[in-house]
Amino acid sequence: MTREKMLPILQKIQEYDHIILFRHKRPDGDCLGASKGLQRMLRLSFPEKQVDLPEDLPESDGSEHLAFLGPDDPAMSEAAYVNALGVVVDTGSSDRISNPHFSLCRELVKIDHHPNVEPYAPTLWVEEDCSSCCEMIAALAETFPETLKIDPQAASFLYLGMVTDSGRFRFPGVNGDTLRRAAFLMDAGVDTQRLYARLYLRDFESFRFEAWVYDQLHRTENGVVWLRIDREDQEKFGLSFENASAAVGYLDTIKGCICQLAFIDAPDGSIRVRLRSRFMSVNGLAERYHGGGHACASGATVYSVEELNALVAEADALTGQYKAGHNDWL
């Protein structure tokens, strides 16, 4: 990340009196942290500007487990968008933007760390090798301290996104710069103990669900481990869709299983897929099934048991090919 790549973003923000922030559907911690953290930074730095983060539409599937971050701003009329700068964070393609009114803005800026499959904004800053979008925004604040202010609240939003999108700093993409930026945020006043408690403390019943997950696992010939959680299972354990989706995180410490899949039945009848891996890339596989994402952490959607089985078979073949040509897997 260089000052030269960041400067056009800051300059564009400085040009406008009204800035509206956008993010992707079904927002995760990085997405929420980036949008809320950037909003807080801009309000601190430019008190004369109007900086809005309108609430997501109901169909965007907000993350219930991150509700402690607080509400967004009220919805706005379409006319309010017309003279504003739209800043879209953590969103690779325009069809994933949760608020369709982004197209009404006078100009768009894109800040993202996913593969740049659609350069939908004339001003963009994309860092595909970065661990999170929140790390990018932390770097922006660190690079321009004379212009951009940060306080404990903004730093906490950004730190949350860095922690969750990096798997607590374990995933590929984490490097020394990542940890230095985390330290920058901690120095700005993040209460890590309280934040980790909010994120990771679980009620007793969730451990019953975790035990059930291990009993449902399937393992393919080449070491793909997977399970499906249907609507009946979700009701049985009183799970929200987001909590059910977290099951994929239970599967990443099984020796020899470098690809993990969780199939979660969604309220709309589709089956959402969480793909995770160690070492090998799975985002190409996700793209073939109506999704995409990062090399080792992606999402997809299937619409039938036949598609589910086909995805598992492709994942197994991909894993077999990887293991045949590499000795670094465990």
Positive or negative, the CA dihedral 167, 173, 176, 182 is: negative
**Is there a single domain that holds both residue 195 and residue 224?**
no
Average pLDDT over residues 298-321: 96
Radius of gyration from C-alpha coordinates of the chain: 20
**What is the domain extent for residue 50?**
3-199
**Is there a single domain that holds both residue 172 and residue 65?**
yes
- Is the pLDDT at 14 greater than 80? The verdict is yes
- The per-residue pLDDT for range 164-176, each reduced to its tens digit, is 999 899 888 899 9
Question: Nearest to residue 155, comparing CAs of 119, 125, 183?
Answer: 183
**Is there a single domain that holds both residue 122 and residue 22?**
yes
**Is there a single domain that holds both residue 47 and residue 170?**
yes
| Cα distance between residue 136 and residue 158, in whole Å | 9
* pLDDT at residue 61, rounded to an integer: 55
**Is there a single domain that holds both residue 62 and residue 147?**
yes
In a domain, 230, yes or no: yes
- The per-residue pLDDT for range 78-120, each reduced to its tens digit, is 999 999 999 999 999 999 899 999 999 999 999 999 989 899 9
**Is there a single domain that holds both residue 148 and residue 276?**
no
Average pLDDT over residues 263-269: 94
Out of 199, 234, 268, a domain closes at 199
- The per-residue pLDDT for range 19-69, each reduced to its tens digit, is 999 999 889 999 999 999 999 999 999 999 999 999 876 545 556 778 899
Positive or negative, the CA dihedral 133, 201, 63, 44 is: negative
**Is there a single domain that holds both residue 221 and residue 93?**
no
278: pLDDT confidence band, cut at 50, 70 and 90?
A: confident
In a domain, 176, yes or no: yes
* pLDDT at residue 26, rounded to an integer: 84
* pLDDT at residue 295, rounded to an integer: 85
- The per-residue pLDDT for range 175-229, each reduced to its tens digit, is 999 999 999 999 999 999 999 999 988 888 889 999 999 999 999 999 999 999 9
Out of 199, 228, 253, a domain closes at 199
In a domain, 318, yes or no: yes
Out of 199, 218, 248, a domain closes at 199
**Is there a single domain that holds both residue 42 and residue 99?**
yes
For residue 147, give every residue at least 6 positions away whose Cβ sits within 8 Å of its Cβ, in sequence order, or none. 10, 45
In a domain, 330, yes or no: no
- CATH number for the domain spanning 145: value is 3.90.1640.10
In total, how many domains does the chain have? 2
82 token code pair: 């017309």
- The per-residue pLDDT for range 111-165, each reduced to its tens digit, is 999 989 899 999 999 999 999 999 999 999 999 999 999 999 999 999 999 999 9
**Is there a single domain that holds both residue 159 and residue 287?**
no
44 token code pair: 């601190």
